[in-house]
Amino acid sequence: MSIQILVAEDDPDINRLLSRILEQEGYMVTAAFSGSEARLLFRDRKFDLFVLDLMLPGAAGEELVEEIRKVSTAPILIISAKGQEDKLHVLKIGADDFISKPFDVNEVAVRVYSLLRRSRDFSENPSGQTALTFKNLILDPESREVQVYGQPLALTAREFDILALLLRYPNKVFTRQNLFETIWGGAYLGDDNTINVHISNLRSKIQKLDTDEEYIATVWGVGFKAAKKQ
């Protein structure tokens, strides 16, 4: 089955460039030139990945991220000229990755491949692997579903992969570099904020379903690990 990608970018030249990059990788691309057009498309069709600009007419990229997250866990890649504060905001509300403009053609292809690979088949989750149980949480690597107290926990692809890694090795402390290079599949350039935002989102989502237990512990000066059972 072909991988379907929605590209929402209002600049026609950049939209064509992104579409060409992705089509050359073998993906099926649907182009949208406004936020409102993108909204109509993802409400009507299923996409495996979203590539969004933030400054879109009709509906801003931030709005689209929040709306997509209500109906889909597919990876969202933001490509924007906006700065660090906006990057942190969109990662917090559900985007999986962020590339700054002007962008490198090869980087776009690699980031998309990494997002798709990890959302569909996390490298350390072979088919048939049994579910991971930790405190009141159950994580199923094959179906990529998580439950807390029997209630479904909606996570982004990155959040799921981070949680799966921590639970698979509950005694290991992962540095931010460990997490970035394992989950994002690229070189770590010292951007702690990306990891911190995803960990914060994970903690917040889990806490809404289980207010009594801690699931992710911070090891100060080192990184993160699964919190010890009390």
Q: Tens of pLDDT along 27-47?
A: 999 999 999 999 999 999 999
pLDDT at residue 128 greater than cutoff 80: no
Please report, for residues 106, 109, 111, 126, 129, the alpha-carbon distance to residue 99 in angstroms, rounded to integers and kept in the order given: 12, 11, 9, 29, 33
In CATH terms, the fold of domain 4-120 is Rossmann fold (3.40.50)
Tokens describing residue 18: 């992104």
Please report, for residues 14, 45, 136, 144, 146, the alpha-carbon distance to residue 157 in angstroms, rounded to integers and kept in the order given: 26, 19, 21, 9, 12
pLDDT at residue 198 greater than cutoff 90: yes
Please give the Cα distance from 160 to 48 (Å, whole number). Answer: 16
Average pLDDT over residues 71-93: 91
pLDDT at residue 126 greater than cutoff 70: no
Cβ-Cβ contacts under 8 Å for 172 (sequence gap 6 or more): 225
* Contact in structure between 180 and 162 (CB atoms under 8 Å): no
Q: Give the burial class of 90: count Cβ atoms within 10 A of its Cβ; 0-12 exposed, 13-18 middle, 19 or more buried.
A: buried
Q: Please tell me the predicted confidence (pLDDT) of residue 143.
A: 85
Q: How confident is the model at residue 124 (pLDDT cuts 50, 70, 90)?
A: very low
Task: Check: pTM over 0.85? Answer yes or no.
Answer: no
Q: Taking the chain, what is the end-to-end CA distance rounded to the nearest angstrom?
A: 46
Please give the Cα distance from 38 to 31 (Å, whole number). Answer: 8
Listing DSSP states for 124-170 in one string gives T--TTPPPEEETTEEEETTTTEEEETTEE----HHHHHHHHHHHHST
Q: How confident is the model at residue 107 (pLDDT cuts 50, 70, 90)?
A: confident
What is the share, in percent, of the chain residues with pLDDT greater than 70? 94
226, containing H or E segment: strand 223-226
What is the share, in percent, of the chain residues with pLDDT greater than 90? 65
In CATH terms, the fold of domain 132-226 is Arc Repressor Mutant, subunit A (1.10.10)
pLDDT at residue 229 greater than cutoff 90: no
Give me the amino acid identity at 63: E
pLDDT at residue 49 greater than cutoff 50: yes
Q: At what angle do helices 157-168 and 192-209 cross, to 10 degrees?
A: 80
Tokens describing residue 175: 């540095």
pLDDT tens-place string over residues 129-155: 578 999 999 999 888 899 999 999 999
Cis bond leading into 102, ω under 30°?
Answer: yes
Q: To the nearest whole number, what is the mean pLDDT of the chain?
A: 89
pLDDT at residue 118 greater than cutoff 80: no
Q: How confident is the model at residue 207 (pLDDT cuts 50, 70, 90)?
A: very high
More confident call, 187 vs 71: 71
Give the residue extent of every domain in the chain. Answer: 4-120, 132-226
